[in-house]
Structure 1
Amino acid sequence: MGSLGSVSSMFLAHFVAETSRYMTTVNPEKNPFLTHLLPLAFSDELILHSLLALGGAHLDRKQSSPEINTWVYRHYGHVIYLLQGAISRKSNEPLEWLRALLAQLILYLIGVFSLAQDDGAMMHIRAGRKIVRRLLSSSSETSNMRVLCGFTFELYTYLALIASPTPYNNGTESELDTRSSLLLSWDILKNYEIFGAIVSPIYQCLEVIPRVISLCTRRQAEIMFQECSSENWAEFVQLITIIETIGSADDLPEPAINLEHEQSLSVSAIYRHALAIFAYDAMWCGTIAEDESRLSVVRRHALSALMLIPTLMDTHLRNVLLWPTIVIGSCLINETEWDVIRKVLSNREPLFVVMKMKTMLENLWAENDPVYFGPYGLHKHMLSHQTVIYLA
């Protein structure tokens, strides 16, 4: 395979050419992974080894070999070693906190890209919460530091919100759900000039997710008694109203809508349909398939989104479609519909998360049982098979 230098060069070249494009919805010249994170890596060993491990993990999915895998784990292990050192120093310097948060987010992405995905991946998102709080309370004196913070906050917020494909708790007794305990509002994020590199077409949809998760938690406590409080009903109605009104053509600036704006409208509509499904699932907690009227509404959203997803597979916006694709996929019921998702997923890069998602949906569809319909059915299926998936 070659020396450490030649392997590292190969991993870095793959990161620059391919991996760096995976997480953004902007052109390469505006991609913060290249414009800001890559220059930082050349002067920072922790960030450099993080990017090498990420690029290597991505490459390993395309041309897997024992040698590539060995070097990925070496870089990964060095990241863990350097990260532990950075945390143990307990520095008061904002740049030190930012480096630690970036490394945690990249470790999460490695878990999404590689075969190592397990419950530990979410640990990196949870660990970032305290660091975000400290960074927000500090003052960033340089413009470069502000840009790095803005990019990191946006990446953290996006990953924390879309990591789980169901509205049911992804936390533990000692750890809150990453989505209901979110620290950052979009009003804060939009103050950074780099805002939108990842979430530009979808941030209005994403900001509703914590409210859906909160509704789901409350409804789970009620539904076993076949009750529904007026407060929860009012919240559900308000959420659906909000979801139905976001991402319209009126939100887009002049001049007249061009192809790029049309694509942004499409991805926003896909998220809007998936989020409506999420809200119905949170409200009715596994009983949708038992009620024809609710089932009809959810199916209408799923099929409307299913028509749009293939139109974006050849665009950069496909990078943010994993979350709505699995939500929508859980609501499909026949071979014709399944084939659309199969084709969509086969057109994507051979990332581990994509292959795992396809396998999970195939297993879900094979059950052919109403109890496994929708995000609740997916949640139930994952619990019964003791499996987990985290998205990016």
Structure 2
Amino acid sequence: MEVVISVDSNITRANLVRTGGQTAEQICGVMGSGNPFITCILPLAHADSLVMHSVLALSGAHLIHRANNDNLRYATWTHYALAIRGLKESLTKIRKVILDEAEVAQMLAATLLLCHIEAVSGNVHGAIFHHLRASRHFALALLKKSKAQFVDGHRAFLIELYAYLALVSNVTLNLGSIDRSIPFDGFLSSLESIGENKSFGPMFGCAHGIFQLIPRVCQLGYQRRLDQQKSTPSTTTDLEYVLLEEDIENWEPEMERYGTAESPNHLLAAGQIYQYALLTFLHASYYGSDVTNATLLKKADILIERLFQLIKERRWQQIDQPKRMPAIATTLLWPYIIMGSCMREPEHQIHIRTMLLRSPFEMTIVSRALQILEWLWVDSSEYAYGPYGLEIIMKKYGVNMCMA
């Protein structure tokens, strides 16, 4: 399909250059020539105008954070509008025809890029969830059409990217919040099914074993909420909680497959941070609204201490030299927000605030996420704690975000 660009060509070229460089490297856990946003997404963009408009809008949304001006803003949101229009037209057409695998991949790439635009720009009205639901449709279609286990690494990356966004969209307990709900399809709990390809891991690093437990934790939290509403304890829920805690605590990365990675220690550190965050999320999900429970507070405090000890020992995130942060750190907003929501000590809050303020990932979403934490920390409600508190704060301030 011929690419048609109808906005200022100089801005368009500047955006594309930036996408091929800083933007691509700041939204993926791989840098350089192996970055799949460069090797996978850009070739699709050159072949399809819908993907191209999405790429340029994403680049502009990223650039606006640091170099905001009227021309750039106009170009960015014009590309965004053209992408949305193109997507609607394509959705109308596919009701009448059957897409081949390449066309499904293009549609999936476009909708995933729209998700990233909403995330990078810090949209607080839940727009990303609409795009995620559309992405899910194409991800499932691509899984169905792919006969072998993703011989094509490009398609494997698209599925991994969708899985990553769908999983980290769970930052609160989603207590009856339909507008944040993304179904947990089976492959999200068995990420090894897309992990045979050598390209697997740009978003998950070595922690796919941790990521694939997120659906179980969320389902436990939902069942626990039902138990609390009925005031009837459930031995089944209690047992699942114990089993999940053991599974997360005993997780070990398959580091042998990453022996040639540029920085395997960075991947391991990121995996451990996700491990601590998922344990925190598990405890918070189990205790639900009982956020003042002494056992919950103690377990969360211990994990927070482990987090900061890991950062101190690994020295992989230099507070005074943030530009040295490894690429995989771009995926750590979710664990930082989960654990940050459980930080009661001013010292811990200052530390996580400093890490986010000095983040080299120049995206509006980082400052918006920090603002939510600030609201949570100063709120006088005894329920303003953990993921349960995040839900309360988001509702209080009319915010609906995904920490992608």
Q: Same fold (TM over 0.5)?
A: yes
Shift, 1:236, TM fit? 0.4
CA contact (8 A) 1:105 1:124 kept: yes
Look up the match of 1:275: 278
Look up the match of 2:70: 66
Aligned counterpart for 1:301 among listed residues 300, 303, 308: 303
Look up the match of 2:320: none
Distance, in Å, in 1 between the alignment partners of 2:83 and 2:186 is: 26
Helix, strand or coil: the match of 1:350? Answer: coil
The yes-or-no answer on 1:128 pairing with 2:135 is yes
Distance, in Å, in 1 between the alignment partners of 2:389 and 2:303 is: 17
Shift, 1:115, TM fit? 4.8
Aligned counterpart for 2:367 among listed residues 341, 344, 355: 355
Shift, 1:368, TM fit? 4.8
Distance, in Å, in 1 between the alignment partners of 2:280 and 2:383 is: 16
Q: Following superposition of structure 1 onto structure 2, how do residues 250-261 of structure 1 map, counting pairs within 5 Å?
A: 251-253=254-256, 260-261=263-264
The yes-or-no answer on 1:98 pairing with 2:114 is no
Measured against aligned partners, the alpha-carbon deviations of 1:229-255 in whole angstroms (never above 9, x if no partner) come to: 11111100000000001136xx42299
Look up the match of 1:164: 170
Quickly say closer, same or farther: Cα 1:312–1:86, change in 2 above 3 A. farther
Helix, strand or coil: the match of 2:184? Answer: coil
Number of aligned residues: 385
Quickly say closer, same or farther: Cα 1:107–1:117, change in 2 above 3 A. farther
The yes-or-no answer on 1:83 pairing with 2:87 is yes
Distance, in Å, in 2 between the alignment partners of 1:203 and 1:142 is: 17
Measured against aligned partners, the alpha-carbon deviations of 1:225-283 in whole angstroms (never above 9, x if no partner) come to: 332211111100000000001136xx422999999333222211111111011111111
Helix, strand or coil: the match of 2:230? Answer: coil
Look up the match of 1:321: 332
Look up the match of 2:344: 333
What's the C-alpha RMSD, in Å, of the aligned pairs? 2.5
**Which AA in structure 2 matches 1:213?**
C
CA contact (8 A) 1:113 1:352 kept: yes
Shift, 1:140, TM fit? 6.3
Aligned counterpart for 2:396 among listed residues 365, 373, 384: 384
CA contact (8 A) 2:108 2:138 kept: yes
Helix, strand or coil: the match of 1:63? Answer: coil
Look up the match of 2:321: none
**Which AA in structure 1 matches 2:135?**
G
Distance, in Å, in 2 between the alignment partners of 1:21 and 1:203 is: 20
Look up the match of 1:153: 159
The yes-or-no answer on 1:223 pairing with 2:235 is no
Shift, 1:176, TM fit? 8.2
**Which AA in structure 2 matches 1:134?**
A
**Which AA in structure 1 matches 2:31?**
N
Look up the match of 2:191: 186
CA contact (8 A) 1:140 1:146 kept: no
CA contact (8 A) 1:22 1:319 kept: yes
Distance, in Å, in 2 between the alignment partners of 1:255 and 1:342 is: 31
Aligned counterpart for 1:24 among listed residues 23, 28, 31: 28
CA contact (8 A) 1:167 1:212 kept: no
Look up the match of 2:4: none
Distance, in Å, in 2 between the alignment partners of 1:164 and 1:360 is: 15
Distance, in Å, in 2 between the alignment partners of 1:388 and 1:262 is: 34
Look up the match of 1:55: 59
**Which AA in structure 2 matches 1:301?**
L
Look up the match of 2:240: 235
CA contact (8 A) 2:54 2:80 kept: yes
Mean alpha-carbon deviation: is it higher for 157-166 or for 18-27? 18-27
Distance, in Å, in 2 between the alignment partners of 1:241 and 1:105 is: 33
Distance, in Å, in 2 between the alignment partners of 1:353 and 1:170 is: 24
Distance, in Å, in 2 between the alignment partners of 1:129 and 1:226 is: 36
Shift, 1:54, TM fit? 0.5
Quickly say closer, same or farther: Cα 1:6–1:326, change in 2 above 3 A. same
Mean alpha-carbon deviation: is it higher for 157-166 or for 175-184? 175-184
Helix, strand or coil: the match of 1:18? Answer: helix
Shift, 1:182, TM fit? 5.4
Runs of 5+ in structure 1 lacking a partner? none
Aligned counterpart for 1:287 among listed residues 287, 290, 294: 290
Distance, in Å, in 1 between the alignment partners of 2:257 and 2:184 is: 35
Quickly say closer, same or farther: Cα 1:325–1:116, change in 2 above 3 A. closer
**Which AA in structure 1 matches 2:164?**
Y
Q: Alignment identity in percent? A: 25
Distance, in Å, in 1 between the alignment partners of 2:259 and 2:46 is: 42
The yes-or-no answer on 1:198 pairing with 2:194 is no
Quickly say closer, same or farther: Cα 1:255–1:64, change in 2 above 3 A. closer
TM-score normalised over the length of structure 1: 0.91
